[in-house]
Amino acid sequence: MTRTDTPVVWLLRAAWVTLPLTSGGALSDALTSWSDPSRAVAATLLWSAWGLGSVALFAPRPAGLTFVRAAAPVVLVVIVVASRDRDTEAMVAVAVAGLTFVLALAPPFAFAAANGPAYGDEIRFPLRIPPALFFAPLPLAVLVVATGVATGPLLLGAQRWGWGLLATALGLPLAAIAARSLHGLSRRWAVLVPAGVVLADPATLDDPVLFRTERISELRPVEAGARPSGSVVDLRLGANRGGVELVLNAETDMLLVRRGRNRSELAPTRTLWFCVQRRDRFLGSARGRRPMADSGR
């Protein structure tokens, strides 16, 4: 079993691949009253999303993670709306779409996508997404992507040429901007490399930073709810679970991103906090390369 092929990832693949079988009838019935051009456009959008998602799942990459995590909630909403009859077939369609949505957000697929393009002996561990983003920013970004991509073509298919061209001209750039923001969350990693630990986080660091093994004195867990003190550089962005403390044997300057100021800021420190998915595996793998991490959780 490789880093990109785990039981959860295969279950996600199976659920996604079977979506046309489980939800095809409900979607077809929902489009019956549409005009032929509109129905053709809608079918093209749905099949395209399914095809791109299939490629993303069987060849995991960060871009594919962004696509699947944006597409899965949209697919779920579409199938729920199309399955108004609530018969057995509709309930199965909703259940499979719901399973796809849950598994797309689960850590195993994020881990697989992060390590799809990994080089040689490196292991990439995704950083945890700040919980506050789930309340509004992430759903809003997904909504902008979905409506920006689909609204223009659907209006053109309905032969509403003026509104369709306007929606396309405005929607696609907005969708691209929102997609870029979503993709930034797919490129946040703590990476174990032969030389040490790399932190790559566009949300907090100006550039990826390599902490060489000989400069790391401790790598240990941080308890949920712990508050940093002194000169600790806290890169958790509000996340609590999976906290890790990296302690250096000498002070170093961190170039931090300061949102809203159009500049970066130097922060001298010997201690950093960050949150990773699969923390125990991260610490265990670090100990396997060099005994520098505590065994606690």
Whether 249 is in a domain gets the answer yes
Q: What is the pTM of this model?
A: 0.91
Is 195 found in the same domain as 55? no
Computed over its alpha carbons, how large is the radius of gyration of the chain?
22
Is 165 found in the same domain as 278? no
Report yes or no: 192 and 122 within 8 Å, Cβ to Cβ.
yes
Is 44 found in the same domain as 115? yes
pLDDT in the model for residue 294 = 46
Quote the CA–CA distance of 198 and 119 in Å, as a whole number.
13
Is 246 found in the same domain as 271? yes
pLDDT in the model for residue 10 = 96
Is 145 found in the same domain as 246? no
Quote the CA–CA distance of 267 and 215 in Å, as a whole number.
17
Whether 157 is in a domain gets the answer yes
Domain range spanning residue 206? Answer: 189-289
Q: What is the pLDDT of residues 76-96, one digit of tens each?
A: 999 999 987 778 888 999 999
The model's confidence at residue 297, banded by pLDDT at 50, 70 and 90, is very low
Task: Give the number of domains in the chain.
Answer: 2
Is 243 found in the same domain as 162? no
The encoded tokens of residue 99 equal 């399973």
Quote the CA–CA distance of 261 and 65 in Å, as a whole number.
30
Strand partners, 189: 126, 200
Is 208 found in the same domain as 105? no
Whether 1 is in a domain gets the answer no
Strand partners, 191: 124, 198
Quote the CA–CA distance of 275 and 2 in Å, as a whole number.
24
pLDDT in the model for residue 253 = 83
pLDDT in the model for residue 245 = 96
pLDDT in the model for residue 23 = 94
Decide: helix, strand or coil at residue 79.
Answer: helix
Is 232 found in the same domain as 87? no
Quote the CA–CA distance of 82 and 19 in Å, as a whole number.
13
CA nearest neighbour of 200 among 119, 295, 109:
119
Which residues, other chains included, contact 195 with Cβ-Cβ below 8 Å and sequence gap of 6+? 210, 212, 213
Residue after which a domain boundary falls, among 140, 161, 185: 185
Mean pLDDT of the chain: 91
CA nearest neighbour of 146 among 243, 241, 78, 99:
78
Q: Tell me the average pLDDT across 131-149.
A: 95
pLDDT > 90: percent of the chain: 77
Report yes or no: 81 and 27 within 8 Å, Cβ to Cβ.
no
Residue after which a domain boundary falls, among 131, 151, 185: 185
Whether 129 is in a domain gets the answer yes
